[in-house]
Each structure stands twice: as structure tokens, then as C-alpha cells.
């Protein structure tokens, strides 16, 4: 698996977790998934990730989801 594929999979998991916790409004998950799928370069995925963070930072439950998602990945490398 390439770095691009791994990052894409990670972003998809984060989007799914945000959706499972009810952070998204109707139609938002699909829009974010489309942006992830359309990214062809690492820089595009990074911009999508940054935009997702900016859009969700003030939403209820988003910080907890992101922290849990990040913690799992951090512990995998420790």
C-alpha cells in the first residue's frame, strides 16, 4: 500500500467515525468522501484533511472523534 493509499484510507475512516457520531449534516459525508476520492496527490489529500479539520473543529463531538482517531494511530507506533 502506498503512502497516498494509506492516507486516503485513514481519512475515510475519520469521515466514517465523524458520521457515526452524528457530527455531519445531511449530505456532508458524501461530499467529503468525494473530495477524498478525487485527490490524486498527497498534497491534495492533505488540503482535504486540513479543510475537514477547519470545517469540523467547532462542531459538537468532533474534537473527541479526532482525538480518539489520532490516539489509535499514535499508539500503533509506540
pLDDT in tens, 29-63: 999 999 999 999 999 999 999 999 999 989 999 99
pLDDT of residue 18 exceeding 80: yes
DSSP tag of 68? H
**pTM assigned to the model:** 0.86
pLDDT in tens, 67-76: 888 876 665 5
Print the domain residue range for 38. 3-77
The residue-averaged pLDDT of 21-28 equals 95
pLDDT band at 1 (very low <50, low <70, confident <90, very high): confident
> Per the structure, how many domains does the chain have?
1
Residue 39: CB atoms within 10 A of its CB come to: 19
Containing 3, the helix (H) or strand (E) segment is: helix 3-20
Amino acid at each position: 500500500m502506498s503512502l497516498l493509499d494509506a492516507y486516503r484510507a485513514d481519512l475515510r475512516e475519520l469521515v466514517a467515525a465523524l458520521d457515526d457520531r452524528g457530527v455531519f449534516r445531511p449530505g456532508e459525508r458524501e461530499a467529503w468522501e468525494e473530495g477524498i476520492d478525487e485527490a490524486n496527490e498527497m498534497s491534495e489529500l492533505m488540503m482535504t484533511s486540513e479543510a475537514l479539520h477547519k470545517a469540523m473543529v467547532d462542531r459538537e463531538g468532533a474534537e473527541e472523534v479526532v482525538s480518539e482517531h489520532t490516539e489509535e494511530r499514535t499508539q500503533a507506533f509506540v
